[in-house]
Amino acid sequence: MIIELLSREHRNIERLLAVLEHEQDIFDRADRPDYEVIRAIIAYFEVYTELYHHPQEDRVFAKLKIRDPAAAAKVGDLAREHKKGAERLHRLAKAVDAVLEGREILRQDVDTIIHDFLDHERRHIMMEDRDFFPAALKALQPADWTEIAAALSPHQDPLFSDATETRFDALRAHILQLEQEAEGERH
Ligand SMILES: [Fe+2]
Ligand SMILES: [Fe+2]
């Protein structure tokens, strides 16, 4: 089910955002965050969220516009939000590169760029979960879902599925470690 899959991807993205926020805390304390992990998060957004998650949502949204224009209007300009998200991601990637290359960049600016990215992504996901997905589930016809599914190129999540790529190994280990620590603190 397409919406189920997109929702699951949202939960995974939230795990990544939590990791990024953790690294931001370390950066804000003037310590050295794990840049390998930060870059892997950025790479994941570049290769998976940008190339699969967003285009798939765009296809669902195109159908929603036809089936229920009022509901689509309530969701807003999804394509523009995705474009803004891509721009924020690009800005984040550039800031991290600048830090790693020892170029001059204010810590405060890096912090603001990370914060903007986190904030935008979280609000975007919240809006989609609340407005977009329920409206699509209600309005789209079985034929719409078949058509959307047929338009998809087969792909597997390089971080959260069995088709993992080695470049994400460190990130995966890091996520599990942080989640175990958080779990430990709750007990
Ligand atoms: Fe989206
Ligand atoms: Fe989404």
φ, ψ at 24 (rounded to 5°): -65, -40
CA of 161 to the centre of ligand 1 (A): 20
List, as one string, the DSSP characters of 22-89.
HHHHHHHTT----HHHHHHHHHHIIIIIIIIIHHHHHHHHHHHHHH-HHHHHHH--HHHHHHHHHHHH
- The superfamily CATH assigns to domain 2-186 is nmb1532 protein domain like (1.20.120.520)
CA of 50 to the centre of ligand 1 (A): 9
The predicted-structure confidence for 114-123, as pLDDT tens digits, reads as follows: 999 999 999 9
pLDDT band for position 166 (cuts 50, 70, 90): confident
CA of 103 to the centre of ligand 2 (A): 33
| Interatomic CA distance for residues 144 and 180, integer angstroms | 41
- The domain ranges of the chain are 2-186
Q: What's the pLDDT at 152? A: 77
CA of 155 to the centre of ligand 1 (A): 18
pTM: 0.91
Using a pLDDT cut of 70, give the percent of the chain over it.
100
pLDDT band for position 182 (cuts 50, 70, 90): confident
Q: What is the mean pLDDT of residues 46-75?
A: 95
Going by the DSSP 8-state scheme, the letter that residue 131 receives in this structure is I
Q: What's the pLDDT at 3? A: 96
Other CB atoms within 10 Å distance of the CB of residue 172: 14
Q: What's the pLDDT at 185? A: 84
Average pLDDT, the chain: 93
Neighbours of ion ligand 1 (CB under 5 A): 57
Q: What's the pLDDT at 92? A: 97
Q: What's the pLDDT at 110? A: 94
